[in-house]
Structure 1
């Protein structure tokens, strides 16, 4: 142990934050964007911007969706219908393609589904939007990463989240005056200024930071710590039996097709019965297992905007007779409800626009907290090389590596996110595997920023990357005006509000990056001035005066 308990906690806080800080910055940034993933997806589909929201009763929207699926996927083993919401005015249908014949090449999981967006009143497919992952990419990125098996990614992110939790609580112990320091900011004081900035961004949303980190671990708790249910259900059906008991609602494994054709009962009465059972609460998702089969089952889940918990109650109906089979989750078990509330807090789907905006700002504060912590370590470490630098030497390889990683993560990631949106609008609509091409440009730009940062971790490179990121974000509304039907001048007056909100946030983020680039330029000029002053010989008068003294 170090000299004392607080010193040990300071050491733990420093290294638990530094070693995984770059991954945590990406997780915070992508997770923060995910609070508005529906709005991001909508902006990235400009073909939908001119479609007027056509409000229709939920029963009508469900009927038209079923009629569409009867035409397009009557033989699909499963239908998924997501009814319209305020954030998504269209009905979304997803149906599983029939399995390939025996001996055929296996089909990638994502390609086993067909999807369409429908006008809720008419059931007609709206103008085919461009292929894109949209905001779903950021949502998946923040816990599944990319280009690697999801199970590996989730273990990596969980490991980093545990380090983050350790850093939060060790930081609270380390900073005895943490709340007093929150009201103190001393600019132009070097290391002291970075520490003040780190304290402010940490304390500003401290409850949020602790909540989002802990609940992030809870979302995958059964993967990280499976031993309890494995031991308890070892002789009672295993893990599947545990989930069936903990989260009743009818897993798909319990449904079996009969192979006998039978017409599907009208869906509207089932939707009305479910909504009435939940005291008028709206329906969110409808799943039809084995449509047009004698053993068809219709599962209806309540919309997720009414409860804090992510686990929504559901009802099941016989798909042929329309008779109610059972209800699930009306009175959840205490342990399952606790887990559902923690999960719901993490994803924030219950939040109204104002609360979601506060979550977004808290997420940005988390990004700044991680960024200032990484930069603070580099500032402190550079002081050890002050004499070496004055004598024309170079900093150590460890500090140079951290400088490069900081540059690539903190300045490069925002630039890559902006490039993702530019690729969405500039790539040809018919390019093969278009959504992956957009994601490819995200990683190309981020990778280039990281390589350049490692090769030249200088203030000039910081300024260049921050300025380019600012330019890409600020010009996104201009790009939208030239490539979509709802420029900012129109969306501010008559909507869509999601497009106007995206453009305004893009401008705000761009201005923030521009401000950071301006501060870097000021610092660079001061450093150049100090270096010139230290190498310039003294004026003749001062030299003569010194000799005569």
Structure 2
């Protein structure tokens, strides 16, 4: 009786959320290698001819911002810069604005542009309409089904929550009656000689079993993005079991004030960050109002790892360091929260874990397809049986 109720819940939750799970899983699989694919597909945007001498410094950031802004319409304001210490990489100046209540991707983004600049010459390398760029569309499909944040985000979040229930009920239904012989073999291995209906049934069961651990991880990390309050509760709960370390200053950072060779606080902050972290993967700066008391720069030690970072917060008036946040100084719960993106995308241990996430996402995408076929075959069989009785 219990298994019958589990089967009923599994079937109807699958039918209700199947299309969304398929789209989210497939787009997630495609987006897994987006960092590598973008560099391969758009080399003219991301790579530049390095300067002739290794000591050639980039232009002042404020000058580059002015030059990048001049490439855009006056109403499209640059709000973020992604820059790379590597001498062969362009710097990216982002301008975006959204309407949070709008329906549909193209209404949600009022505009989204990226200006790629050569930081050593000040030349504009390319201007990208990111609103219509392929990988951005894939990301928005993954996060909100291209419906805009207000409408699509909730659908994705609750469908992911239901998918966790589907995975758990699926494991109950998968559980072999006997852990030996044919029942166990059929639960763990595909019989390629089986007829199509049986083969589809085995695919649903076997794929579901093998993707289960990673699928649960992907769902949980995805839900932490969808429900920020859960993320806070989750990190606070784990922090209870970790010893506190309130010193947020790394050992190699003895000074309290940044030197001021430039007029602009932003230029001084970036010069300091580049001097302290010349081998960083990338840095991000969000532009604040001119009178903002604090300016900041996020430093990723590896380009595609958001969980390995330093984050400098500096008083703009006198360039004294207010705080340096670092992954090295986080409590266990806060560190896991910071690593959530790396866990979700598989970047945590490089290509190996990215490939595992890619395969798990494809496996998740297959489950609604094979599950729907199972339901359809069962429905057709029931219809034929009723027709025979009549």
2:49 to 54, 71, 77: 54
Q: For the Cα contact (< 8 Å) 1:35–1:348, is it kept in 2?
A: yes
Give CA deviations for 1:477-525 in whole Å, capped at 9, x if unaligned: xxxxxxxxxxxxxxxxxxxxxxxxxxxxxxxxxxxxxxxxxxxxxxxxx
Provide the residue aligned with 1:335 in structure 2. 333
Look up the SS of the partner of 1:185 in the other structure. coil
Q: For the Cα contact (< 8 Å) 2:117–2:125, is it kept in 1?
A: yes
CA distance in 2, matches of 1:325, 1:122: 33
Q: For the Cα contact (< 8 Å) 2:280–2:302, is it kept in 1?
A: no
TM-superposed CA distance for 1:169, in Å, is 0.9
TM-superposed CA distance for 1:50, in Å, is 8.7
Q: For the Cα contact (< 8 Å) 1:81–1:285, is it kept in 2?
A: yes
Q: Structure 1: which 5+ runs fail to align?
A: 98-107, 230-247, 249-261, 394-549
TM-superposed CA distance for 1:222, in Å, is 2.7
User: What does 1:407-446 align with in structure 2 at a 5 Å threshold?
Assistant: none
TM-superposed CA distance for 1:273, in Å, is 4.8
Provide the residue aligned with 1:367 in structure 2. 365
1:23 to 16, 20, 23: 20
Provide the residue aligned with 1:94 in structure 2. 94
Q: For the Cα contact (< 8 Å) 2:231–2:337, is it kept in 1?
A: no
CA, structure 1 residues 390+63, in 2 after alignment: closer, same or farther (shift >3 Å)? farther
Structure holding more strand per residue = 2
CA, structure 1 residues 355+110, in 2 after alignment: closer, same or farther (shift >3 Å)? same
Q: For the Cα contact (< 8 Å) 1:198–1:373, is it kept in 2?
A: yes
Give CA deviations for 1:355-410 in whole Å, capped at 9, x if unaligned: 3233222211221222111211111221112356789x9xxxxxxxxxxxxxxxxx
TM-score scaled by length of structure 1: 0.52
TM-superposed CA distance for 1:63, in Å, is 3.8
CA distance in 1, matches of 2:198, 2:166: 20
Provide the residue aligned with 2:284 in structure 1. 285
CA distance in 2, matches of 1:96, 1:145: 19
Give CA deviations for 1:168-219 in whole Å, capped at 9, x if unaligned: 1111111223863222424442432111111232223222111111211111
CA distance in 2, matches of 1:58, 1:150: 44
CA, structure 1 residues 361+89, in 2 after alignment: closer, same or farther (shift >3 Å)? farther
CA, structure 1 residues 340+346, in 2 after alignment: closer, same or farther (shift >3 Å)? same
Q: For the Cα contact (< 8 Å) 1:64–1:123, is it kept in 2?
A: no
CA, structure 1 residues 342+218, in 2 after alignment: closer, same or farther (shift >3 Å)? same
Look up the SS of the partner of 1:269 in the other structure. helix
Count residues in correspondence: 340
User: What does 1:35-114 align with in structure 2 at a 5 Å threshold?
Assistant: 35-39=32-36, 41=38, 48-49=43-44, 53-55=48-50, 63=59, 65-73=61-69, 79-84=79-84, 89-95=89-95, 110-111=109-110
CA distance in 1, matches of 2:96, 2:306: 28
Provide the residue aligned with 2:381 in structure 1. 383
CA distance in 2, matches of 1:338, 1:49: 36
Provide the residue aligned with 1:125 in structure 2. 124
- Are residue 198 (structure 1) and residue 204 (structure 2) matched? yes
TM-superposed CA distance for 1:117, in Å, is 0.5
TM-superposed CA distance for 1:92, in Å, is 0.5
TM-score scaled by length of structure 2: 0.71
TM-superposed CA distance for 1:31, in Å, is 1.5
Look up the SS of the partner of 1:313 in the other structure. strand
TM-superposed CA distance for 1:49, in Å, is 4.3
User: What does 1:500-511 align with in structure 2 at a 5 Å threshold?
Assistant: none
CA, structure 1 residues 73+59, in 2 after alignment: closer, same or farther (shift >3 Å)? farther
C-alpha root-mean-square deviation of aligned residues, in Å?
A: 4.1
1:218 to 219, 224, 228: 224
CA, structure 1 residues 24+51, in 2 after alignment: closer, same or farther (shift >3 Å)? closer
Pair member with larger Rg: 1
CA distance in 2, matches of 1:44, 1:343: 23
TM-superposed CA distance for 1:314, in Å, is 0.3
Q: Structure 2: which 5+ runs fail to align?
A: 98-106, 177-182, 235-247, 249-261
CA distance in 2, matches of 1:212, 1:343: 10
CA distance in 1, matches of 2:298, 2:351: 23
CA distance in 1, matches of 2:184, 2:17: 25
CA distance in 2, matches of 1:157, 1:376: 24
Structure holding more helix per residue = 1
CA distance in 1, matches of 2:68, 2:189: 61
CA, structure 1 residues 125+192, in 2 after alignment: closer, same or farther (shift >3 Å)? same
CA, structure 1 residues 153+294, in 2 after alignment: closer, same or farther (shift >3 Å)? closer
Provide the residue aligned with 1:253 in structure 2. none
Q: For the Cα contact (< 8 Å) 1:294–1:320, is it kept in 2?
A: no
CA distance in 2, matches of 1:304, 1:22: 38
